[in-house]
Amino acid sequence: MRKVIGRRALLRSGMAAGALAVGGSLAASQGSKAQAAGTSGGRLRRWAMVIDLRKCDGCQSISQPPQCTEACIQGHFAPEPMQWIQVYESPLEGQAGTQFVPTPCQHCQNAPCVNVCPVGATFATPEGTVLIDQMRCIGCRLCMEACMYDRRFFNWGTPAQPPQTLFLEYSPEHQDPAIRGTVMKCDFCPDMARAGRLPYCAQACPHGAIYYGDLEEDLATNGSEVVKISRFLAENNAYRLKEDLGTKPRVHYIPGHGEAVGRMPTTTGRKATTWPWQKTIGGALPWQR
């Protein structure tokens, strides 16, 4: 079992651990956004994620809330109660017991949310990520209605965030500071990927269940090993959520219930997600989803 790193220590270190095993894949993607999108002679990146459910036990083995969710909240200053990557406990099909399914935005290549946005605030990039420009968002929430995965969140009031977000320069790629009356969601951390670093969720997973990589190079890593994506998916009977709906998600799953890390499917329950924002921007109020 990999050593579990505390969330604060992980953030203080700059989340650099994920870059150590990237090898020739994500590290090779360093450079400008134009190069990443192939507009200046660089290779077009096609970011994707593979989640190995055989290694996911909902962090039961370390008696903590799901660390992918916690790291995402801290790294993105996600307002309560937003869980951009939410770990669901679902019944196992065809047998007794449950499995844990980490669920970020699926970054669909035929995204219903993009198709219904009346002002172009939700858009797809050449890299395949689906982003939201909160500066354009009018809060109509049509994208939330269209999302088949329930992976979008609305700022009903002034978002509860730490004060330091007020000093951040806004970008659709990190969505801080959060804006009242707009929609937010997982952004797939493309800015981190270009710098050769893994997303917060992948770096924080204690069992290495989350792989992130580039379909163009056909390589992905969980921070300790590099896999050939096409072979990894084919050899392990991978699937995508609600694939029959034709949304073409960029998140793939390998079936399992945590058996690779010793979890029995009858070991149910997980610790509740927490938000560390005790000191928040003045007037901010958490809300219930």
CATH for 81: 3.30.70.20
Name the helix (H) or strand (E) containing 153.
Answer: strand 153-154
Q: Are 285 and 79 in contact (CB under 8 A)?
A: no
Q: What contacts 176, CB < 8 A, 6 or more positions away? A: 76, 77, 161, 165, 168, 170
What CA–CA distance (Å, rounded) separates 244 from 196?
Answer: 33
Q: Are 144 and 183 in contact (CB under 8 A)?
A: yes
Residue 205 belongs to a domain? yes
Residue 256 belongs to a domain? yes
Residue 227 belongs to a domain? yes
What CA–CA distance (Å, rounded) separates 29 from 207?
Answer: 25
The parent domain of residue 246 ranges over: 7-106+189-261
Residue 18 belongs to a domain? yes
Which tokens sit at 288? 């219930």
Displacement of CA 289 from its chain's centroid (Å): 19
Residue by residue, pLDDT tens for the chain (289 residues) are 434 444 434 333 343 333 333 434 443 333 334 333 443 446 789 999 999 999 999 999 999 999 999 999 999 999 999 999 999 999 998 889 999 999 999 999 999 999 999 999 999 999 999 999 999 999 999 999 999 999 999 999 888 899 888 888 999 998 999 999 999 999 999 999 988 899 999 999 999 999 999 999 999 999 999 999 999 999 999 999 999 999 999 999 999 999 999 999 999 999 999 999 876 777 777 777 7
DSSP 243: G
Total domains in the chain come to 1
